[in-house]
């Protein structure tokens, strides 16, 4: 839906009157997967795709929330006493943000809110972070809280960690909130130091492919991976004074990996340590305009995520392997938490139409699933747009 159409729908639901409009992007991570909660580096960028929001103040404490994607009839919640429930489903992300605003002691009341997204909720492109940052910016703007964006980013992460129960790292919320058009972000997740790097694709496109394979990170092995990484740190502490895997180099890992006596935990740690190094190398490739080397690192990343971290699975592997067979492809990998979701491929522009046709055919033949494709434009972070 276009913005003006969303505004008309808002007026039909809530009545005429002055409104504010917002946009919150999704994100694609170019490389650096499952490194954020380990205190490592990631290389995401915000997308032009995302979530629109139309909002207006209320005098009471009600959130009246509707979505063009999940049924247009508004549902109501008390923002002063938000309560998590599995029955609330996607609304829990909005309520979690309100919960965090209450903890900060912010003075706000209710909101009429209509959201409309062009980002599939099961794609692994951070639709949850997109609506968390949308709600954060809506409350901040409507009630003039004047909270810095970096704090809104961390507040939104706490909403997902503590209210929703998914122990995600900071990458998704940071990329969504702090994105800049045409820029990737080399983010040190331990310090939140960020270097913006221009993405100059030189006749290539980033093609995102949604596997349309069912996924639910909160109910999956995602949290288990985090526990396994913590177990690796506990074992390494016998010789190393560390808190997170992101604190050690590949050389230190090779010297001390004998301390990790569980084979599965060793594989998880090996992925994280080497993925952090790949991410730093990939950022330098973008700076050096070396897309061939960047593509090779993308391939290495996926191979590690599949074999060592075991978060790819049949659908993501099928999509990646189909992509790598096509002309003009420099690299292809899963992006996001895994267990379904999306891949991202670096494809020569003149090969994109054949790439989409051939990959769709190959993937559907192997999985009986029909994929969706997006050409990724790198956009700005969450903001008011009127």
Q: Which residues are catalytic?
A: 172
Say which residues have a Cβ less than 8 Å from residue 176's Cβ, sequence separation at least 6: 24, 25, 26, 27, 46, 50, 126, 129, 130, 132, 133, 153, 381, 382
Say which residues have a Cβ less than 8 Å from residue 220's Cβ, sequence separation at least 6: 337, 339
**Cα 45 to Cα 155: distance, rounded to the nearest angstrom:** 20
CB neighbourhood size of 295 (10 A):
22
251, with CB counted inside 10 A (0-12, 13-18, 19+), is exposed
Site of tokens 């060793």: 266
**Cα 124 to Cα 308: distance, rounded to the nearest angstrom:** 20
Does residue 288 contact residue 306 with C-beta atoms inside 8 Å?
Answer: no
Ramachandran bin of 245, using left for φ above 0, alpha for ψ from -120 to 50, beta for the remaining angles: alpha
**DSSP label at residue 377:** P
Q: In what order do the strands lie in the sheet with 204-210?
A: 329-335, 342-348, 204-210, 372-375
217, two tokens:
């990170």
Site of tokens 């309520």: 95
Q: Which helix (H) or strand (E) holds 185?
A: strand 183-188
Site of tokens 């999704």: 26
**Cα 174 to Cα 163: distance, rounded to the nearest angstrom:** 18
The DSSP bridge partners found for residue 187 are: 42, 194
Residues 98, 103, 106, 112, Cα dihedral to 10°: 10
């Amino acid at each position: 839906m276009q913005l003006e159409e969303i505004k008309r729908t808002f007026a039909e639901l809530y009545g005429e009157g002055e409104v504010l409009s917002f946009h919150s992007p999704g994100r694609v991570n170019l490389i650096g997967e499952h490194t954020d909660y380990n205190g490592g580096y990631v290389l995401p960028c915000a997308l032009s795709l995302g979530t629109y929001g139309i909002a207006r103040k209320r005098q009471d404490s009600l959130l009246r929330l509707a979505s063009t994607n999940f049924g247009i009839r508004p549902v109501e919640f008390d923002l002063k006493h938000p309560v998590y429930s599995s029955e609330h489903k996607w609304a829990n992300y909005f309520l979690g943000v309100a919960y965090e605003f209450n903890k900060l002691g912010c003075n706000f009341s209710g909101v009429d809110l209509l959201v409309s997204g062009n980002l599939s909720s099961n794609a692994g492109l951070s639709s949850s972070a997109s609506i968390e940052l949308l709600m954060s910016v809506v409350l901040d703007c409507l009630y003039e809280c004047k909270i810095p964006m970096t704090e809104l980013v961390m507040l939104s992460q706490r909403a997902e960690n503590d209210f929703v129960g998914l122990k995600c790292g900071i990458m998704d919320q940071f990329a969504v909130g702090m994105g800049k058009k045409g820029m990737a972000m080399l983010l040190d997740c331990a310090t939140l130091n960020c270097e913006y790097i221009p993405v100059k694709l030189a006749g290539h496109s980033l093609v995102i492919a949604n596997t349309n394979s069912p996924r639910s990170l909160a109910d999956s092995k995602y949290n288990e991976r985090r526990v396994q990484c913590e177990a690796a740190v506990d074992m390494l502490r016998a010789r190393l004074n560390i808190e997170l895997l992101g604190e050690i180099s590949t050389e230190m890992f090779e010297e001390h990996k004998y301390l990790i006596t569980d084979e599965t935990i060793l594989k998880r740690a090996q992925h994280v340590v080497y993925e952090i190094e790949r991410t730093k190398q990939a950022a330098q490739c973008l700076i050096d305009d070396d897309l061939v080397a960047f593509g090779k690192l993308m391939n290495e990343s996926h191979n590690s995520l599949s074999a060592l971290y075991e978060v790819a699975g049949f659908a993501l592997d099928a999509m990646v392997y189909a992509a790598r067979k096509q002309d003009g492809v420099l690299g292809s990998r899963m992006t996001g938490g895994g267990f379904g979701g999306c891949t991202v491929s670096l494809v020569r522009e003149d090969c994109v139409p054949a790439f989409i046709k051939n990959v769709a055919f190959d993937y559907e033949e192997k999985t009986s699933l029909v994929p969706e494709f997006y050409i990724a434009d790198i956009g700005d972070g969450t903001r008011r747009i009127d």
